[in-house]
Amino acid sequence: MPVLSRFPHPRPCALAAVLSLAAFVTGCGDSSEGAPATSAATSSEVTVPVSAVTTTVLEAGSEPRAVVRLAPPADVEQNVVLTTRSEVFQQIDKEPRQDFSTPELNLPLAASVTQAVSDTQPSTLVDIVLGEGTSPDPMLASALADAAGSRAGLTVAPTGAISALRLAPTVETANVARSAIEQAFYQSVYRMVSFPDAEIGVGAVWQIRQQVMSAGVTIDQVSTATLVSDDDERVTVDVRVEQTPQGSVWMLPNGQGQLDIEHYTMAGEGSMTFDPMLPLPVEGTLVLSGDQVYVDPDATTRLAQSQVDRVEWHSPEN
């Protein structure tokens, strides 16, 4: 999250993805600019609640119709690769534009269902073990080697709505890798498709509403989903996403002041394919882009940002 050097608090730290999902896990480090953040932190599992999802059916679609349920059985396993990338460019007043993009991250995931949905258990519990990730960024690529074996977990409703994210990096995981992995999971969780409780058929359209709690600002996210195909073994959904800030002020972290939101757009689209008997998407791509403009209350400093976020799922066997 960028803190402008002209603000009263002097410790400037430019962080990528100001109001993107990545803001959840980003913070100002004590390292000098350009120094590799290679120190490892003590491993401990953290459970992060995920904001509730509501769905509204706009069109029921064609017959036959049925309630779509994602209910993988206990002990089922799945291998999938999660890829994330954020391009962020910022400009303060007429100064040169700066690149605060997050390098592409490819995470091989081995997921297993430790608890299946039943009459007594309303959610699926998914345990995820990370393989050795890759990145074109040399520093991140080097740090990812020690992150192999880190764990994550999801609590998932039969609708596909995720209610909790658990993260447990290995003791050896360097901070640069830890931050990148956390950002990747947080982005993917809030880019997931949820299905309605009602019966739907091919061509059905429904809205998915969720609040994204970004640092200093609450974002209303509205996704419009369309059921493209449902052949029992594969369910494919097209989705369009639009984000809107609830308020007109962004409160900077650590008491560093506030910025007025002068302009905010963030929207995109993609497609996602599920196997109802597997815990994670088998294929998918979702790309969001937008532009934002922030000004200080005295209108003396103006921060313009352009952003593109990309989340992909890919099954190695496909």
3-class DSSP state for residue 146? helix
Q: What is the pLDDT of residue 318?
A: 62
* Higher per-residue confidence, 7 vs 114: 114
On the question of pLDDT at 34 being above 80, the answer is no
Per-residue pLDDT at 26: 35
Predicted local distance difference test score (pLDDT) of residue 22: 36
Residue 240 contacts residue 223 (beta carbons within 8 Å): yes
Q: Rounded mean pLDDT of 250-265?
A: 88
pLDDT score of 38: 34
pLDDT band at 256 (very low <50, low <70, confident <90, very high): confident
pLDDT at residue 44, as a whole number: 75
Phi, psi (rounded to 5 degrees) for 19? -115, 20
Greatest alpha-carbon pair distance for the chain in Å reads: 62
The separation between the first and the last C-alpha atoms of the chain, rounded to the nearest angstrom, is: 37
Confidence grade of residue 30 (pLDDT, cut at 50, 70, 90): very low
Residue 56 has pLDDT above 90, yes or no: yes
pLDDT cut 70: percent of the chain above it: 86
Q: What is the pLDDT of residues 282-314, one digit of tens each?
A: 999 999 999 999 999 888 899 999 999 999 999
Question: What does the pLDDT read at residue 206?
Answer: 99
Pair of tokens at residue 251:
């409160």
Q: Higher model confidence: residue 73 or residue 5?
A: 73
Confidence of residue 4 (pLDDT cuts 50, 70, 90): very low
CA distances from 138 to 50, 147, 176, 211, 223 (A): 32, 15, 12, 35, 35
The 10s digit of each residue's pLDDT in 59-78 is 999 999 999 999 999 999 99
Residues 25/163, Cβ–Cβ less than 8 Å: no
79 touches 109 (CB < 8 A): yes
| Rounded mean pLDDT, 89-99 | 95
How confident is the model over 194-248, as pLDDT tens digits?
Answer: 999 999 999 999 999 999 977 678 999 999 999 999 987 899 999 999 999 999 9
Other CB atoms within 10 A of residue 217 CB: 20
Percentage of the chain with pLDDT > 90?
Answer: 77
- Assess whether pLDDT exceeds 50 at residue 5: no
Distance of CA 37 to the CA centre of its chain: 23
> pLDDT digits over 163-193, tens only?
999 999 999 999 999 999 999 999 999 999 9
